[in-house]
Structure 1
Amino acid sequence: ISPAGDGRVEFEQLKTGLSAAGLMLGDGDYKAVWAAAGGDVYPNGRVSGRVDINGFLGVMQNQQRDEERMMESGYAVHMRSSLNKGWGVRDDAAVLPITGMNRGKSRPMDHASLVDEAVVEEKLTRSADRFAKWEEQVKSDLQAHKPSVMKLFRVVEPGTVTDQELREMGGGREGVPLGYKEVRKGLQKAGISVSDRDFETVWRRADKDCVGSVTFNDLTRAFAVADTPKESPSRKKFALPHMTDEEPTSPIKLRNTPATSEKDHIGLWMLQSNPTFISSFQNCLSDKREVSSDDFVSALSLSGVVLSDRDARELFRRAQLSSGGG
């Protein structure tokens, strides 16, 4: 991306190179990357100067090392991403020299960035603390109201009813799978009250295979409720045959929920390998081969996949890339 071949680029050249590599960011994010690489960014939004691409790669490597150290830190899973610092001027990274008309002038980013990072980190830490407390509260509520939740899913303990009664109830040891709205209303009736936004996180945890329904065991296992049976192999039937738990799945982070955990990921492969979803999704699109972003998002919702609008559109972008941009 350096026309002169000297490894130095201007802002538009760096932006073009990142876009061509598949990193699609907003203008503000591009400027944050530019500042992190040593470029000039002013309060009015203007950028100037040239940066050494090797310096930019060095910042990227430092960021990667930070993330690796955090992964090995022993923090709870859902706190790791929250405690990582984002783009910004680092106090341990060399700042490229200022040349030309900017010589002798200080750059606002040199002084403000570290303060801004501290404020952002404090907010994210509070968010992580809030999520940890919320997660424990949901677990406690599920445990306290377990009989009511079992009744909701028609779960029957062995030996408590006759075979005839069991057939009439339509339940059993696993109970019956229920959809999003049924679980939402049922938990409210059982005395477990969560906001719409928090329930989305509950659902994403429980329906981790994106089948559009969850069982009693799915729900209680997602929050490690006591006396929950081990996972049934049947709930993993949509996993790709060549994929193991140790292999990466390129998940899309559900960024609209505060400090969500690694369990709250949805990868495009999950939907592609789910025949129930594919059939429902195709019906919603009337078997169209090409669809707009709005139609794609609408069909996801009608197919029972619960995502925020932002994450649904991110999934659409990933689908475009996987199909060659079509």
Structure 2
Amino acid sequence: MGGKCGFVLNPSIEVEKILNEHLVGQDRAKEIIVNELKLWHPYDNKQVHQPMVLAFTGLTGTGKTMTATLIADALFNQREKLENSDKTQPAGLLMYSGADFEDTATSTIKEFQENFKTRLGSQLQKCSGVAVVVFDEIQKVIPQVVNVLVRPMSEEAILEYKQDNVQHKIDCSKVIFILISDIGTDAMTKLLLQYDSRDEIPLITLSRAVKSAMDEQWHRLQLGKAIHTVVPFLPLEEEQEGVTEYFSRSSLMTYSVMSETFNEVERKKVISKYGARTISNDVMKKVKAHLSKMFTEATPCTTKFFLFLDMYTQ
């Protein structure tokens, strides 16, 4: 299936297996991803196919990029060497970085668009139309560049591009697009303040908040309409003890633990040492006020609270 980059026989089973083994503290995200894969049948000739489009949204360091690469690891049996490197990656994985498409001083918008389309087209030709396409930090991309995603991710699922002065058209219906960003994080943080637990937030409420934020960021670009499912990566709560050591061992992100005592209640914050984003001061003030009130009212005890937040305010 799909040439040398074909998906494994049971995608949802394989993805669930690898996420259970390697992903800590994001059970809700894991469940959403697996359920989407169970409903997606790209090789079923009886169905009208269209690509799967997932939006991974959350604070820096909550496991979004790691999860995307784990999905690709599970879906493709074959691996290939990276160019100019001894490292390998799944044969059907294509990674974009938003930082490569944000500066018009280095390239024109048209050049960015052609670069994006040519890379995607070449990957799909190599893999017979099968791929996991990950766009990391998509919030950094110039809106006009992101516009080239709309048609490949739509029900039409067609990519047109030019290579070596030859025009190509290729089907994208067997592609899984994963858009990784922090878009909607402020809205998600505000929602967290309204509920006692992150698991109490209705998924539809989260989805609407993130899609609305996406459309607002790109103004007239209706990219949010192409997204099938929003996968929230929310801050971790106290039951995820041990998460710091786990993620530090992964070598993908380094974390530190900050401890402080308030009313004899120990608070531990799990903080990413490196991050690409700062939460807006307005939202962070509300988070701090909410936490202060919570701990002020708490009965003195040894309860430990874990927050998976980048608390870097300017």
Which structure features the higher share of strand residues? 2
The reply to whether TM is greater than 0.5 is no
Rg larger for: 1
1 or 2, which has the higher helix percentage?
A: 1
Q: So what's the TM-score if we normalise by structure 2?
A: 0.23
Structure with greater contact order relative to length (CA < 8 Å, sep ≥ 6): 2
Q: TM-score, normalised to structure 1's length? A: 0.22
